[in-house]
Amino acid sequence: MSTNINNDNLPSPQELEALANQLFKAGPGGFLSELPSQKGADIFSIAPDISLFNTSAPVNAPAQQAPPSTIGGGGISPSAVNQGNAVNLQDPQTSFADPNLSSQSPSLSPATGYSQPAFGGQLPVQLNGDYESYLKKTDLIPDVLLRQNFGVEQLSAAPQDLFHLPYQQDQHFDTELKKVLEQISTSAPGSSGIFNGAPTTTAVPFYFLNDTHGLPAVKADKAQPSKAGISGIITPPFDVNIIRRDFPILQEQVNGKQLVWLDNAATTQKPKQVIDRISYFYKHENSNIHRAAHELAARATDAYEGARKKVQQFLNAGSINEIIFVRGATEAINLVAKSWGDQNLNAGDEIIVSHLEHHANIVPWQQLAAKKSLKIKVIPVDDDGQVLIDEYVKLLGPRTKLVSFTQVSNALGTVTPAAQIVQLAHLAGAKVLVDGAQSVSHMPVDVRALDADWFVFSGHKVFGPTGIGVLYGKEYLLNETQPWQGGGNMIKDVTFEHTQYHDAPGRFEAGTGNIADAVGLGAAIDYVTRLGMPLIAQYEHYLLVYATQLLKEVKGIRLIGTAPEKASVLSFVLDGYKTEDVGAALNQQGIAVRSGHHCAQPILRRFGVESTVRPSLAFYNTCAEIDLLVNTLHSLKR
Ligand code: PMP
């Protein structure tokens, strides 16, 4: 072995390179076939193959400079806490729209805990524009490298090592939010919240740590690794200021104020990647699908079926045949009720729902029950809004044929122990439908780990378009079930005497579907997948804890739904005020919340109210927005 020029008995760089090449070639999947040719380059500086991101839509990355990395959207700077300065959302000096904001927060810490040099803490300041372009341009994405060099199969070999539940990945906002939460006073009613409180000793319950929510904690599935699992370990830092730039509507003025969108449980706002993708479809791909022998039909079919594939991966379904495009969660539940339910349930059979259900998961079963003399039983909840599992077990019996329940309550925010409910239903021989309308945008979902027979969600609640949604169903079950609607697209052969149906998904997609919006939903799924669902869950959890602690300080407030395991939703009533008046007062400040019964009257009545005010959070919300909400409520009370 020759030595290097310093003659210090160390191998020369050329020899090291040759040795490394041998090592990499011997590694799993060849790892790297060759070291990068430039001397001194490390693997993290290899330019990514951006085609791996599978974007058929154009990316309009603006050329402006992104701000240096910060967290929490301007509301949670510890420096602001220490100085007693609330960040004023409407103040251009401190608003989250101000690109200089983060440089005004010198105490913001870099991300901690990343061993990869790729992350290194702050986002590189030279990055252009929005999050999408960041993800595409950066040469610091181990995601790409991992996929390039290991391939998905190798990644799936040990999912327990890959999948990190939320909060296991240190992010900027971890440290920042924890500090801020510690400084919220729980004993200073009327205060503006974070900026003048004494530290609290209340432990924050991180529910992600003890419930996998249907995620494969250790179960290996070599064929189909969970997408959420992959992104869970390798997503780049989560920066709400950069993310917000992707949502044009968040710059909208309402009543002279910047919009604060806290009505995410009703519908979510759309990133420009989704808006652009739909526009691109109509400009370059629009055609009916599956049937024509021309170029645009091929493009449209590819785009539509590509979106189906994205949904399959997003849910970790076993096959694309298990993904049926429908109008939304409501239509999906009606489809199951009016096909499988009608064909399989008989007089005296029982359906169990929970007290938390949205009307969409009550009315179709009631209609079916009336038609077929079925009985509906209801799982009760405790005073915090948690389902009572012991009571549920008592309801299960030989007549139970279906359990249909929500994974997250839209009125209270309760996260139900979904995997447990499914398992118990299966032990009783019942089928299970899980309503994921309020869960898919807030936490990773894995339908195979959950083992639901059906799972439904709406595109518009997961940053996609309205008018498109998904029914997941186990393939054998879908193919055993006769279609509920007949028409074109769903048939193999038709004579006047007889029709032969396609297998799923075709048999449940009669007529021309919502092609463009399915493609838009695919873009939305790409978007949240790149952010990383575990990180989204983690960030939102902090926001929820933050908001809950501040809301508790508002005089005369009663929080409806206080389960330790919650997502996104903060329902409340305010003593002396009608809920619509509170909604109107918030609207004056540009804050959009829902006030009303939220299409969940039974659960509100369980708590003795007919309506609540319901702010609901998404990953683009900030602590500054929550401060504005809470301060407006304080001033109402004054
Ligand atoms: N289930 C739940 C839990 C919901 O929150 C909603 C919408 N609010 C639905 C079902 C129905 O969804 P969609 O109106 O999009 O069909």
pLDDT at position 445 over 70: yes
What token pair was written down for 597?
A: 């019964």
Q: Is 438 in the pocket of ligand 1 (CB under 6 A)?
A: yes
pLDDT at position 140 over 60: no
Tell me: cis bond preceding 505? Omega within 30 of 0 counts.
yes
Instruction: Scan for tokens 């210090």, then name that residue.
Output: 8
Asked whether the beta carbons of 427 and 399 are under 8 A apart, the reply is no
Q: Closest residue (by CA) to atom 14 of ligand 1?
A: 330
Active site residue 599: yes
pLDDT at position 476 over 90: yes
CA dist 462 → 199, 428, 520, 571 (Å): 35, 33, 11, 20
Q: Closest residue (by CA) to atom 4 of ligand 1?
A: 437
Question: What is the rounded CA–CA span in Å between residue 74 and residue 266?
Answer: 25
Distance 561 CA to ligand 1 centre (A): 18
Q: Is 330 in the pocket of ligand 1 (CB under 6 A)?
A: yes
Q: Is 458 in the pocket of ligand 1 (CB under 6 A)?
A: yes
Quick one: average pLDDT of 331-358? 98
Task: Say if residue 257 is exposed, middle or buried (CB neighbours under 10 Å; 0-12, 13-18, 19+).
Answer: middle
What are the φ/ψ torsions at residue 631 (nearest 5 degrees)? -65, -35
Distance 17 CA to ligand 1 centre (A): 57
Given this model, what pLDDT does residue 178 score?
64
Q: Which tens digits make up the pLDDT trace of 286-328?
A: 999 987 789 999 999 999 999 999 999 999 999 999 999 999 9
pLDDT at position 136 over 50: no
Q: Are strands 591-592 and 571-574 parallel, antiparallel or unpaired?
A: unpaired
- Say which of 599, 607, 609, 637 is annotated catalytic: 599
**Does 160 or 416 have the greater pLDDT score?**
416
Q: How confident is the model at residue 638 (pLDDT cuts 50, 70, 90)?
A: confident
The helix or strand, by DSSP H or E, that contains position 365, with its residue range, turns out to be: helix 363-372
Fold type of domain 295-530: Aspartate Aminotransferase; domain 2 (3.40.640)
412: helix, coil or strand? coil
Q: Is 268 in the pocket of ligand 1 (CB under 6 A)?
A: no
Q: Is 278 in the pocket of ligand 1 (CB under 6 A)?
A: no
Q: How many CB atoms lie within 10 A of CB 175?
A: 18
**Does 325 or 109 have the greater pLDDT score?**
325
Distance 113 CA to ligand 1 centre (A): 38
Given this model, what pLDDT does residue 407 score?
98
Distance 86 CA to ligand 1 centre (A): 36
pLDDT at position 146 over 50: no
Asked whether the beta carbons of 196 and 130 are under 8 A apart, the reply is no
- Percent above pLDDT 90 for the chain: 62
Q: Which tens digits make up the pLDDT trace of 505-524?
A: 999 999 999 999 999 999 99
Given this model, what pLDDT does residue 15 score?
64
Q: Which tens digits make up the pLDDT trace of 368-418?
A: 999 999 999 999 999 999 999 999 999 999 999 999 999 999 999 999 999
Distance 437 CA to ligand 1 centre (A): 5
Domain boundaries, the chain: 1-33, 44-181, 295-530
Asked whether the beta carbons of 372 and 346 are under 8 A apart, the reply is yes
Most confident of the ranges 97-101, 201-205, 539-543 = 539-543
> Which mutation among 408, 458, 616 tests ligand 1's pocket best, with the greatest number of atoms within 8 A of CB?
458
Q: Is 410 in the pocket of ligand 1 (CB under 6 A)?
A: yes
Asked whether the beta carbons of 435 and 385 are under 8 A apart, the reply is no
> Which mutation among 599, 603, 614, 616 tests ligand 1's pocket best, with the greatest number of atoms within 8 A of CB?
599
